[in-house]
């Protein structure tokens, strides 16, 4: 998305960018690049009125409400997704980068869907799906915390499926 002179929020609200020195909004973008880690776009701008240059960081704002299990609402917070995954991924092969990229990917997906509200359970499902693809142990730990498993034997079956897979790998390794 390329938009010059205005920040367009994902929900369609347009907020004009103004020169911090003279408050005019006729600006020229001289350079823009992604600041990947923060999911932001950095733009170097020049004011056509006073000629001064400055940098803006643009992030799409996600104004999304999450419904918790206790029926209370809270603002969506990408950092909370990260924290939730960190404990489940402790001592697994899931890296810090992978955790951050899962959180960023989920935020991006929600932004594209343009939903205003989501259930915490659904968010949990999205995280579990992502973890399941990269590390089963992290997935099970996360799933236990978020009570996806209704009964203990569901947990046991999930663990069983890991050990079956491991023994298959051992067989292949020895074959």
- Where on the chain is the footprint of Zn ion (CB under 5 A)? 19, 21-22, 47, 49-50
Closest approach of Cβ 51 to Zn ion, in Å? 7
* Alpha carbons 143 and 150: distance in angstroms, whole number: 10
Backbone φ/ψ region at 147: left (φ over 0), alpha (ψ -120 to 50), beta: left
Closest approach of Cβ 105 to Zn ion, in Å? 38
One DSSP character per residue, 72-135 reads -EEE--HHHHHHHHHHHHTTSS--HHHHHHHHHHHHHHHHHHT-SEEEHHHHHHHHHHHHHHH-
Residue (6 or 22) nearer to Zn ion, CB: 22
- Strands, sheet with 117-119, edge to edge from the N-terminal-most edge strand: 73-75, 65-67, 117-119
Residue (49 or 67) nearer to Zn ion, CB: 49
Closest approach of Cβ 43 to Zn ion, in Å? 15
Closest approach of Cβ 5 to Zn ion, in Å? 13
Residue (51 or 133) nearer to Zn ion, CB: 51
Residue (53 or 67) nearer to Zn ion, CB: 53
């Amino acid at each position: 998305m390329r938009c010059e002179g205005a920040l367009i929020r994902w929900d369609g609200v347009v907020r004009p960018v103004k020169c911090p020195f003279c408050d005019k909004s006729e600006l020229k973008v001289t350079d823009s690049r992604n600041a990947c880690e923060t999911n932001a776009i950095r733009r170097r701008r020049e004011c056509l009125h006073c000629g001064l240059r400055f940098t803006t960081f643009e992030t799409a704002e996600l104004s999304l409400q999450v419904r918790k299990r206790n029926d209370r609402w809270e603002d969506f917070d990408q950092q909370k997704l990260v924290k939730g995954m960190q404990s489940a991924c402790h001592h697994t092969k899931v890296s810090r980068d992978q955790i951050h990229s899962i959180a960023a990917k989920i935020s991006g997906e929600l932004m594209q869907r343009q939903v205003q509200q989501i259930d915490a359970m659904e968010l949990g499902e999205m995280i579990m799906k992502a973890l399941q693809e990269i590390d089963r142990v992290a997935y099970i730990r996360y799933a236990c915390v978020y009570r996806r498993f209704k009964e203990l034997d569901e947990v046991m079956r999930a663990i069983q499926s890991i050990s079956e897979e491991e023994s298959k790998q051992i067989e292949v390794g020895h074959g």
